[in-house]
Amino acid sequence: MTNPHPATDEAADSPGPSVTPSHAPAPPAAPDGAQSPPGPPAPGDKSRTGGADGNPPPAEGRRHPATHAHPRPDPAPGLDAHLVVDRTAFRLDVTLTAAPGDVLALLGPNGAGKTTALRALAGLTPLTAGHLRLDGTSLEHTPPESRPVGVVFQDYLLFPHLSALDNVAFGPRCRGAGKAEARALAAAWLDRMGLSEHAASKPRHLSGGQAQRVALARALATHPRLLLLDEPLAALDARTRLEVRAQLRRHLAAFDAVSVLVTHDPLDAMVLADRLVVVEDGRVVQEGTPADIARHPRTDYIAQLVGLNLYRGQATGHTVRLDAGPSITTTEELSGPVFVAFPPSAVTLFRDRPSGASARNLWRCEVAGLETHGDQIRADLTGELPLAADLTTVAAAELDLHPGAPVWATVKATQTHAYPA
């Protein structure tokens, strides 16, 4: 990653990944200490919006000694990072590993440390401790502009006065490529992105989806060995997002180095990433494949993300005594600490105590709130067991649900899923 600029993010000696168009020239090595022109801010640069630090990112990045340390040979390809960043009231301590071709998604609530992790990978935030190795080379002491890292920003951050072609050509130019060579490389990338006919367009004449693809082309044209995507779809409207998500998925699948994506959107994470890394309060609380995380959430945040009710308790056979109070009957037979999860759609509500129902998994609750959730109504319940329940609009009307209404909630054991905590 380059100074604050995404388009200049490549180490002079980084190996050329296979994403380079076969008919395009590879960008030449940048001279040591090459200066890049000023550019858009870096990921998480809160100075643009009056952020916490109030300083532009390079200042933080340059606290790190800008020396080219002797690269430490390491046979392991891909990303091997232990990122520790200490701040007055916050500590990031996460380990991220990925093989070439892997797409990792960092998910987590606001303030969890996702952007800090991204900035640390880019070299814009110095590590307090830990290590960062990419394809076997230690990067802790490599200045941002010499890291083989490309960044795609949430709001693209294209140069408004440059054409799409020149925006993409900017990176190779910064590395010392001649104008014609850089433009040929950029043209090949735009072609690959299906944007050839927009090569001469200025960013203001591009749609959100097109601008996002130009930003991706700009990042990839520098042959990064690590691609960082900071909420890449957040600025798009819902329809464009669907289309661009599918395109981005294809491009990431074709990219042979490591990609790390920061997103708030579980769908983006599930569709785009091979592996999710959930960060809460500066720590990794869970990681795994999207399917694994969706089936076995281990924190409330993740359970909400994937739309499940989640409880912790102690299992004895088919009964789990929840830390929250009541017991749940499950189909799994377990013992010791467990999680129990079930979807809101598995909950059935009654205004009166159902006479025929067994006492199992039947709780007395009260409606705390109601909201539309797709074509359903989601009821937020408090009481014996706090839970979310989905029901149709007709059912909600028939039950005369309103905040404060008492209800009975029941869930079949077969609809629950218990797993060791």
Ligand X SMILES: Nc1ncnc2c1ncn2[C@@H]1O[C@H](COP(=O)(O)OP(=O)(O)OP(=O)(O)O)[C@@H](O)[C@H]1O
- Positions in the binding site for ligand X (CB under 6 A): 44, 52-53, 87, 90, 108, 110-116
CB of 41 to ligand X, least distance (A): 12
Closer of 265 and 332 to ligand X (Cβ): 265
Closer of 87 and 364 to ligand X (Cβ): 87
Closer of 86 and 256 to ligand X (Cβ): 86
Closer of 24 and 236 to ligand X (Cβ): 236
Q: What are phi and psi of 260, to 5 degrees?
A: -125, 125
Closer of 116 and 259 to ligand X (Cβ): 116
Alpha-carbon distance of 96 to 117, in angstroms, equals 9
Closer of 157 and 349 to ligand X (Cβ): 157
CB of 269 to ligand X, least distance (A): 13
CB of 114 to ligand X, least distance (A): 4
Cβ proximity of 266 and 305 under 8 Å = yes
Q: What is the 3-state secondary structure (H, E, C) of the chain?
A: CCCCCHHHCCCCCCCCCCCCCCCCCCCCCCCCCCCCCCCCCCCCCHHHHCCCCCCCHHHHHCCCCCCCCCCCCCCCCCEEEEEEEEECCEEEEEEEEECCCCEEEEECCCCCCHHHHHHHHHCCCCCCEEEEEECCEECCCCCHHHCCEEEECCCCCCCCCCCHHHHHHHHHHHCCCCHHHHHHHHHHHHHHCCCHHHCCCCHHHCCHHHHHHHHHHHHHCCCCCEEEEECCCCCCCHHHHHHHHHHHHHHHHHCCCEEEEECCCHHHHHHHCCEEEEEECCEEEEEECHHHHHHCCCCHHHHHHCCCEEEEEEEEEEEEEECCCCEEEEEEEEEEEEEEEECHHHEEEECCCCCCCCCCCEEEEEEEEEEEECCEEEEEEEECCCEEEEECHHHHHHCCCCCCCEEEEEECHHHCEEEEC
Q: What is the dihedral of CA 384, 388, 394, 395, to 10 degrees?
A: -30
Q: Which two tokens stand for residue 273?
A: 């990433």
Q: Which residues pair with 286 in a beta bridge?
A: 278
CB of 402 to ligand X, least distance (A): 34
Closer of 116 and 327 to ligand X (Cβ): 116
CB of 109 to ligand X, least distance (A): 7
CB of 116 to ligand X, least distance (A): 3
Alpha-carbon distance of 117 to 107, in angstroms, equals 11
CB of 376 to ligand X, least distance (A): 28
CB of 55 to ligand X, least distance (A): 7
Closer of 107 and 338 to ligand X (Cβ): 107
CB of 87 to ligand X, least distance (A): 5
CB of 378 to ligand X, least distance (A): 24
Closer of 108 and 172 to ligand X (Cβ): 108
Closest residue to ligand X, based on beta-carbon distance = 53
Closer of 61 and 383 to ligand X (Cβ): 61
Closer of 53 and 265 to ligand X (Cβ): 53
CB of 89 to ligand X, least distance (A): 7
Cβ proximity of 4 and 57 under 8 Å = yes
